[in-house]
């Protein structure tokens, strides 16, 4: 095997910092052994936006500021882009942003709000009067597992109809009464 050289500056002055990981004493670049263990490649996370190679624990791209974080699809834990498994629950599926749910707030007793909400629920979800009245008494998840943009659109739509709506981070998938927005 040839002497290992820094893939950034070519200096042979490199130190082993972890298993198969090296750091250049000359320029500070971190690198790792190639698959066949014959040369060093710069280690890091390529930015999904501009391709800049960031240090593997950077949370934002050093070139364009893009977020280098993803979220566990199961428990919502923030995870660095290059990790294959969630450090909290071991799940291996991720979302690029934390997903949201949209909650319809109950109407206030004796006020217009409650009548609006009941009307809305009956029209939108085909509920009968009793069902709609029951639903209007509690916080009702009308969509979950959607992106922030989708949640904002839905919130706007409902507020236009006179309802009070709240957006929450949905770490645990909730059971929405609207299925069409649920992924």
Site string for Zn ion, 107-136 (x = CB under 5 A): ------------------------------
| Binding test (CB under 5 A) with Zn ion, winner from 20, 37, 57, 64 | 64
Structural element, H or E, at residue 72: strand 69-72
95 binds Zn ion (CB under 5 A): no
What is the nearest approach in angstroms of Zn ion to the Cβ of residue 83? 11
55 binds Zn ion (CB under 5 A): no
What is the nearest approach in angstroms of Zn ion to the Cβ of residue 166? 24
**CB proximity list for 60: less than 8 A, separation 6 or greater:** 66, 67, 68
Q: How far is CA 60 from CA 66, 83, 92, 93, 174, in A?
A: 6, 15, 21, 21, 30
Structural element, H or E, at residue 129: helix 129-136
Tell which positions 11-50 bind Zn ion, by CB under 5 A.
11, 24, 26-27, 29, 47, 49-50
Q: Rg (Cα) of the chain, in Å, rounded?
A: 25
Distance CA 39, CA 43 (A): 12
| Binding test (CB under 5 A) with Zn ion, winner from 89, 108, 169, 172 | 89
Distance CA 175, CA 100 (A): 13
- Interacting residues toward Zn ion by CB under 5 A: 6, 8-9, 11, 24, 26-27, 29, 47, 49-50, 52, 61, 63-64, 66, 72, 74-75, 77, 86, 88-89, 91
């Amino acid at each position: 095997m040839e002497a290992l050289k820094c893939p950034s500056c070519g200096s042979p002055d490199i130190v082993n910092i972890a298993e198969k990981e090296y750091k250049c004493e000359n320029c500070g670049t971190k690198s790792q052994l190639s698959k066949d263990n014959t040369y060093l490649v710069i280690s890091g996370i390529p930015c999904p936006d501009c391709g800049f190679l960031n240090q593997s624990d950077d949370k934002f791209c050093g070139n364009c500021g893009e977020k280098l974080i993803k979220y566990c699809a199961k428990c919502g834990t923030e995870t660095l882009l290059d990790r294959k498994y969630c450090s909290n629950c071991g799940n291996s599926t991720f979302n690029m942003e934390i997903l949201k749910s949209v909650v319809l707030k109950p109407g206030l007793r004796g006020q217009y709000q409650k009548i609006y909400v009941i009307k809305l629920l009956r029209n939108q979800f085909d509920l009968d009067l009793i069902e709609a009245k029951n639903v209007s008494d509690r916080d009702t998840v009308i969509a979950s597992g959607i992106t922030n943009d989708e949640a904002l659109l839905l919130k706007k739509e409902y507020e236009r109809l006179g309802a009070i709506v709240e957006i929450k981070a949905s770490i645990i998938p909730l059971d929405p009464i609207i299925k069409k927005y649920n992924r």
